[in-house]
Structure 1
Amino acid sequence: MTAVRALKSDVEDPAIEASTYNRSTYRYWRFRIMYATIIGYAAYYLVRQNFSMAIPSMGEEFGYSKTQLGWVITIFSIIYGAGKFFNGYLSDRSNARYFMAFGLFGSALVSFTMCLSSSLGFLIMFWALNGWFQSMGWPPSARMITHWFSPKELGTKWSIWASSHMIGGAAIVAIAGWLIENYGWRSAFYVPGVLAIIFSLFLLDRLRDTPKALGLPTVETYKGDTQFLDPREDERITMSEVWGMVLRNRYVWYMALANMCLYIPRMGIFNWAPTFLKEYKSVTLMVAGWQVAGFELAGLVGGIFAGWMSDRIFLGRRGPVAAIYLFLLTFTLALLWLVPAGYPIVDAISCMLAGFLVYGPQVLAGVAVADFASKRAVGVATGVIGVLGSIGTAVSGVGIGYIVDHYGWSGGFMLFMVASLVGAFFFVLTWNRRSRMFEGS
């Protein structure tokens, strides 16, 4: 209970008094919250995606099939999804600063344990525990972004924050590829674990929960958007409100289903691309790591561009942009699959295009669910779409492992393409829907 009370506490910075508030103070804290959440959530990826880079080496050393190693990904995804829902609700009732830092610290400790046994059951159990700690990263980030940035700028600002996915993903595949080639696969768990501990302390120092925790006014007041101000913003959400704002909201469920579909190619590529490129395209693991890093870095641009388009061109409508992205993704996946081995430049370009097109919808799914629910419910709403996204990740784990073991990589890519088209359909269902604040609902 002491830990829970600590998570709930609001710590005021003595250097900032309400009476000394000015716009430069607010700008400073918005910038600080943005870069700290980007760095912090990127650090979560250091102790999440290191496993995908270790798969080829672990399979060779222990003799595990892709189906067996896929179970590690799948069980992780199930626990991660369940944790996102529970921790989404808890984060809406807690202090995001401590919540996010604690989760990263726990993931770091689990990363160290992955080198202690060769038992498949051991790997599954501890990576599942990592899934729980990992689920403590996204909900508090979403809470802080929606409290420090207003509805009119949310698409662009959220997409900038979401670059953390790509920065962390690109960093770990590049670092882990080099570490594994030079020091063995275990180094890909030790080194990121140390880095994650350092970054958890960074989060404790840099983050603050809401403007109120610093004696500052709401972001709507700061931006002059008081027509969007929720008079109950500072109240903690109740279970009855969770039911009304989130669980009975069909647009939240459209986004959840779209998220499930897009996570099949997104996590399928990320988890299996190093193995696919090494086996099917005949490149080294280090080259594969850089190609997957290109997937992530291009995704950074794709996500920001998608958020900007949804704000500026489509005036707060996320559905059209995401649907177009996913439709184009199917052709890019076909290119990556059908080009024969021996064309590494084409493969790198295909990976980059796929990253650009898959991360735009991922960013917009999060923005849209924040639009369709409310600021007070954003943690639990993102938890709901996270649960279904984790089902997609689970399918991309043991499902892709089994399909590739029995039907080859062609079967895996066919699943990626079908999932992309179905995801586009669910985004189309929200084509004309904007934030409930803009709609006046």
Structure 2
Amino acid sequence: MQEASQAIDKQYNYWRTRILYALIIGYASFYLVRQNFSLAVPSILDEFGLTKTQIGWILTAFSISYGICKFIAGCICDRSNARYFMAIGLIGAALVNIGIGFSSSIWMIGVFYVANAWFQSMGWPPCTRSLTQWFGPKELGTKWGICNSSREIGAIGILIAAPWLIQHFEWRMAFIAPGIACIVLGLIIFERLRDNPKSLGLPSIEEKEQLPESERTDENERISYREIFFEHILPNKPLWHMCIANFFIYVIRMGFFNWAPTFLKETKGISLAHAGFQMSSFEFMGLIGGILAGWFSDKIFSGRRSAVSCLYMGVLALCLLFFWMSPGTIPGLEFILLSLMGFLLYGPQVLVGVAAAEFGSRKAAASAAGLTGVFGYLGGAFSGVGVGFLADTWGWNAPILFFLGSAALGTLLFLINWNKTQANSKLELSEDLATQKA
């Protein structure tokens, strides 16, 4: 019996490591064919003679499409094989990026970029499904933070590569070269990934770790869409709080994601390569902030993801206030503030996903995370055309104030859920459902 248990532990450790690094490489690859657009924006503005508001509409269309598709993709992924799902999404995103590189009009670029949103929406749901299937609640926050570092790894890679490609070739190569690379990476991910433990003849995570009843789900992993929505999503109040908080996180995140290179180039007069370097520090510190947020929520706050997020967002609001008030004459101050804001922004962004997956249960984890994505990218939609319009009309100070207000509202929403954990939120949801049926 003991030998069998040791054999299972050995297999679990091997597959957990393999699944985790495959997810990191896979989702980092999605960013190679996603964040390249923001770096190409200054060149696209010049070539096609567009205003920031006009290019903002393309960014907004992407965000709306991505948010809607992410929820749909999450629902489908909960009933699908994560291995196939991620590989198909990455290869599809690679192909439409190559299409952007060969486009001759802004309309073609816009159509391809919005099409990219659908394939991009297939990137994170397999991560959500795999993480909740392979890791228990006591380590999920930490492993989620580690996996979430894939965003920053991919972003740093393209923030360094794209300016070089644009400088030595032209902006189109920033789409074509990553697209070709991601076709190869998609095939590698398909070979490395597997679905859940039971697909490999291993016990489920509940069985292996002998989780208490309050943290278990039943063995039926392929539940109906109706049950997902009406029993795990619609009546789940803590989940909806996370959704609205994510809206405000993404107002800020996508604002920096889409507009920071243009902002730094126009207000600081620095080169695109230097702007890419500064944003690389933003992403690198975000990587550290996300991992530490997961660890804090696991080890210090006993699974209270909202408590950690509240603290992060509160300090982020203060940093945005300092960024707005900074005189711009102190060498390196903005660089330091940008790095610190990256650290603070990505902590709540990581933990919203963890909390949503836990509040939704393993059976509907990808759907719950997908719903937070809908709200997140509605916030991103506001940042697309909203930041462009504010900058065109009142200058760059107006978007900074917009981000400051969003951080303050996000802090309040996390405060509402300060003490929520997977166990007490599941109990609360069960009681609500029982009351409705009575």
Structures share fold, TM-score greater than 0.5: yes
Q: How far 1:103 sits from its partner (Å)?
A: 0.4
Aligned to 1:147: 133
From 57, 74, 90, the counterpart of 1:104: 90
Give distance in 2, aligned partners of 1:237 and 1:169: 36
Give distance in 2, aligned partners of 1:112 and 1:344: 40
Q: How far 1:19 sits from its partner (Å)?
A: 11
Give distance in 1, aligned partners of 2:329 and 2:190: 47
* Equivalent pair of 2:324/2:401 in contact (CA under 8 Å): no
Q: Deviations over 1:40-65 (max 9, x none)?
A: 00100011110000001111111111
* Equivalent pair of 1:373/1:381 in contact (CA under 8 Å): yes
Aligned to 1:390: 377
Gap regions ≥5 residues in structure 2? 431-438
Aligned partner letter, 2:211: D
* Equivalent pair of 1:87/1:139 in contact (CA under 8 Å): yes
From 15, 22, 26, the counterpart of 1:29: 15
* Equivalent pair of 1:281/1:340 in contact (CA under 8 Å): no
Aligned to 2:352: 365
Q: Deviations over 1:355-408 (max 9, x none)?
A: 100000000100111121100001111111000001011111111001100010
From 243, 252, 265, the counterpart of 2:230: 243
Secondary structure of 2:50's counterpart equals coil
Aligned to 1:400: 387
Q: How far 1:118 sits from its partner (Å)?
A: 4.1
From 144, 147, 156, the counterpart of 1:170: 156
From 401, 408, 422, the counterpart of 1:421: 408
Aligned partner letter, 1:91: C
Aligned to 2:289: 302
* Equivalent pair of 1:103/1:136 in contact (CA under 8 Å): yes
* Equivalent pair of 1:262/1:420 in contact (CA under 8 Å): yes
From 36, 48, 51, the counterpart of 1:62: 48
Aligned partner letter, 2:287: L
Q: Could you state the TM-score of these two structures normalised by the residue count of structure 1?
A: 0.93
* Equivalent pair of 1:255/1:365 in contact (CA under 8 Å): yes
Aligned partner letter, 2:63: S
Deviation larger for 283-292 or 166-175: 166-175
Gap regions ≥5 residues in structure 1? 1-17
Q: Deviations over 1:166-215 (max 9, x none)?
A: 11111111111221122221111011101111110111001001001111
Q: Deviations over 1:145-169 (max 9, x none)?
A: 0000011211111111111111111
Q: How far 1:341 sits from its partner (Å)?
A: 4.9
* Equivalent pair of 1:325/1:357 in contact (CA under 8 Å): yes
Aligned to 2:34: 48
* Equivalent pair of 1:106/1:133 in contact (CA under 8 Å): yes
Q: How far 1:243 sits from its partner (Å)?
A: 1.4
* Equivalent pair of 1:373/1:436 in contact (CA under 8 Å): no
Aligned to 1:377: 364
Aligned to 1:181: 167
Q: How far 1:113 sits from its partner (Å)?
A: 1.0
Report the CA distance shift for 1:439/1:20 in structure 2 as closer, same or farther (over 3 A). closer
Say what the alpha-carbon RMSD is for the aligned residues. Answer: 1.8
Secondary structure of 1:380's counterpart equals helix
Give distance in 1, aligned partners of 2:362 and 2:7: 23
* Equivalent pair of 1:282/1:341 in contact (CA under 8 Å): no
Aligned partner letter, 1:304: I
Secondary structure of 2:171's counterpart equals coil
From 123, 128, 133, the counterpart of 2:114: 128
* Equivalent pair of 1:281/1:342 in contact (CA under 8 Å): no
* Equivalent pair of 1:310/1:316 in contact (CA under 8 Å): yes
Report the CA distance shift for 1:358/1:432 in structure 2 as closer, same or farther (over 3 A). same
* Number of aligned residue pairs: 424
Deviation larger for 330-339 or 264-273: 330-339
* Equivalent pair of 1:83/1:132 in contact (CA under 8 Å): yes
Q: Are 1:356 and 2:332 counterparts? A: no
Report the CA distance shift for 1:340/1:174 in structure 2 as closer, same or farther (over 3 A). farther
Report the CA distance shift for 1:335/1:22 in structure 2 as closer, same or farther (over 3 A). same
Aligned to 1:212: 198
- Percent identity over the alignment? 48
Q: How far 1:231 sits from its partner (Å)?
A: 2.4
